[in-house]
Structure 1
Amino acid sequence: MRLRSLEGRLTLLLALAALTGALVYIGVTEWPLPQAFAWMQEAMGRHASVFQPSRVDIFVICALVLLPLCWWLGHIVMDPVKRLLRALESAVASYRDGDFSISIALNRRDELGDLIHMHNELGQTLREQRQNLAQRELLLDTVVQNTPVALVLTDAGDRVAYANIAARHLFNEGRTLNGLHFATLIADAPEALRKAIEGTEDALFSVEMDGSEETFHLSQRAFRLQGRPHRLQLFRRMTRELSRQEVAAWKRVIRVVSHELNNSLAPISSLAHSGAELARRGDVQRLPGVFATIGERARHLHGFIDGYARFAKLPAPRIAAIEWKPFLDALALHCRFQLQGNAPSQPGWFDPVQIEQVLINLIKNAHESGSAPEGVTLGLNVVGHELRIEVADRGPGMSEAVLAQALLPFYSTKRSGTGLGLALAREISEAHGGRIALANREDGGLRVTLVLPQSATAS
Structure 2
Amino acid sequence: MRWLLLVSASLATIALFLLATATSNNTMFAQGYDTLVLLNGLLVGLLMLVVGWQLWQLRRNLRSGVFGSRLAVRLVLLFALVAVLPGALVYAVSVQFIGRSIESWFDVRVDRALEGGLNLGRNALDYLLRDTANKAGQIALALTENQGDFAATLRRTAEQTGVHEAALYTATGGVLGVAGVGGSTAAVEPPPTPALRLARLQQTYAKIEQMGDAGLVLRVVVPVNTDDRLSPLKLLQVIEPVPRPLAHDAERLEAGVRDYQEISFSRGALKRLYALTLTLTLLLALTSALGLAVVLSERFSAPLGLLAEGTRAVAQGDFTRRQPVVSRDELGVLTESFNTMTAQLADAHGKAEESRRATETTRAYLESILGNLSAGVLAFDEDLKLRTANPSAAVILQQPLAELTGMALADWGKRLPALSPFAELINEGFRASREGQWQKEAEFRVANLSRTLMMRGSRLPGPAVAGGYVVVFDDVSELVQAQRDAAWAEVARRLAHEIKNPLTPIQLSAERMAVKLTDKLEGADQDALRRGTQTIVSQVAAMKNMVDDFAIYARQPRPGQMQHVDLSALLLDVLGLYDNLRPHVALSLPVAPVFVQGEPTRLRQVFHNLIANAVEAQAGVSPPIFAIALTESDGYVTLSFTDRGPGFPPDVLSHAFEPYVTTKAKGTGLGLAIVKKIIEEHGGRVTLENAAPQGARATLVLPTVGHGRPPASIAKVSI
Query: Structure 1 length as normaliser, TM-score?
Result: 0.46
Which one has the bigger helix percentage?
2
